[in-house]
Amino acid sequence: MIRYQGQGLPAAPLVAILANDALGNFAAATPLAQGLKQAHGARVALISGPRIAEMAAGSVFDEFVPALNRPPREVAPELAALAPDLVINIESSLWSKAYSAILCGSDAFVCGPCLAADGRAELPFPDDDRGSLWADSRWIAPDIRDRYPFLQSSFIGEIFYRLAYLEGPLPRYSFPCEDPGSGLPDVIFATAASLPEKLWPVEKWIALARGLQDRGLTVGLVGAKPSDQSRYWHGSNDESRLVAEGGVEDLRGQFKLPQVVGALDRAKLVVSLDNGIMHFACATSTPVVALFRHGIHRLWTPPAPNLTSLTSNEGGLVADIPVEEALAAADEHLHTEI
């Protein structure tokens, strides 16, 4: 394995990207895949997990290996058979470091965290500005662009893009989009999140729904079906209350993920927490209001022109964001009167 520092790659190289199968992680990997295709004419394989299998098919990725949730003895032969020219690991987990080493073999380039060939330690990062950023644990710091002038923004998708020594504008999100059918609501909520500190109180969601309904708009809720939601996300009990008390149409579990993108594309407005649905909505032209944790917003807010990002004051919680602020942002997008 050889540390990648922007060296030349063979014609039509195969590049393997390792990413968690959280929807947001998948989203953040897609500009990187597009950039590799544009810069190197690469074929790009995604090594991830089952949650994004529906999105991987027909996406910017040419191959998909579902490595998570499977015994390593089953996965290792598949990875070794890929024989990529470049491996890019955008995760810091043990599985991704080990699989990076398997993918590399002895002669491939590697970018990102990786076990050394002897498996006893991690392969040192390169001695350059990209290597310094890989080793830096302060990606949410407000001065990250000052410390790394090659960055044009602090968005995580761009960070991965530059860490792969890619230049030029960051490509916009591009996801598979399928017809979700008819009878969709005007406004779509996405209220679940991977961490409890990302949540907004259900009472505020109900108040926001009622405020939008007072403006003559219908509201629907998307997400995983209730029986699956608690496996990966928080907020399932709140979602049930929102449907029961807020007059919100329950669309959870009714669509495949590409159909969710289609529903988001047709909506007049999307209101979401910091989750995968928010990233999917940013690939459309639909206005999006997103609620972020302060500080995290610098890293995870996509540079999308249709997105309004709301945060609490420094040191505050997502739960502190007022309903009135979210409703005002919605009104600004929808050109309705407050």
Tens of pLDDT, residue by residue over 38-55, are: 999 999 999 999 999 999
For residue 239, is pLDDT > 90?
Answer: no
> Within a domain: residue 259?
yes
Indicate if 204 and 96 belong to the same structural domain.
no
Q: Residue 194 above 80 pLDDT?
A: no
Residue 178 included in any domain = no
- Is 175 among the domain residues? no
201 and 282 belong to one structural domain:
yes
- Domain containing 102: what range? 2-163
Assess whether 8 and 145 both reside in one domain: yes
- 110 and 210 housed in the same domain: no
Q: Is the pLDDT of residue 232 over 70?
A: no
| Domain CATH for 278 | 3.40.50.2000
Does the pLDDT of residue 227 top 80, yes or no?
A: no
Q: 274 and 156: one domain?
A: no
pLDDT band at 197 (very low <50, low <70, confident <90, very high): confident
Q: Are 241 and 206 in contact (CB under 8 A)?
A: yes
- pLDDT reported for residue 338: 39
Taking residues 62-89, report their average pLDDT: 92
Domain assignment present for residue 169? The answer is: no
In whole angstroms, what is the distance from residue 205 CA to residue 330 CA? 13
Looking at the structure, do residues 119 and 264 belong to the same domain, yes or no? no
Q: Is the pLDDT of residue 76 over 70?
A: yes
CA 331, 200, 180, 251 dihedral sign is negative
Model-level pTM?
0.90
| Domain-embedded: residue 298 | yes
Q: What was the pLDDT predicted at 44?
A: 97
Cβ-contact 229, 148 below 8 angstroms? no
Q: Residue 322 above 80 pLDDT?
A: yes
Residues 316 and 202 in one domain: yes
Q: What is the CATH number of the domain that holds 41?
A: 3.40.50.720
By the 8 A CB rule, do 245 and 237 touch? no
In a domain, 172, yes or no: no
Judge if 11 and 92 occupy the same domain: yes
77 in a structural domain: yes
Q: Which two tokens stand for residue 70?
A: 């499977």
pLDDT tens-digit readout, 208-225: 999 999 999 999 999 887
Number of structural domains found in the chain: 2
Shared domain for 191 and 158, answered yes or no, is: no
The residue out of 148, 163, 178 marking a domain boundary is 163
Looking at the fold, whether 146 and 204 belong to one and the same domain comes out as no
Domain boundary among 163, 195, 212: 163
Q: Are 151 and 16 part of one and the same domain? A: yes
Q: How confident is the model at residue 237 (pLDDT cuts 50, 70, 90)?
A: confident
Which residues, listed in sequence order, are joined to residue 309 by a DSSP beta bridge? 290
User: Measured between alpha carbons, how far is residue 231 from residues 18, 86, 194, 195, 251 in Å?
Assistant: 22, 33, 10, 12, 18
Final residue of a structural domain among 163, 198, 221: 163
158 with 11, same domain: the answer is: yes
Residue 131 predicted with pLDDT over 90: yes
* Structural domain includes residue 173: no
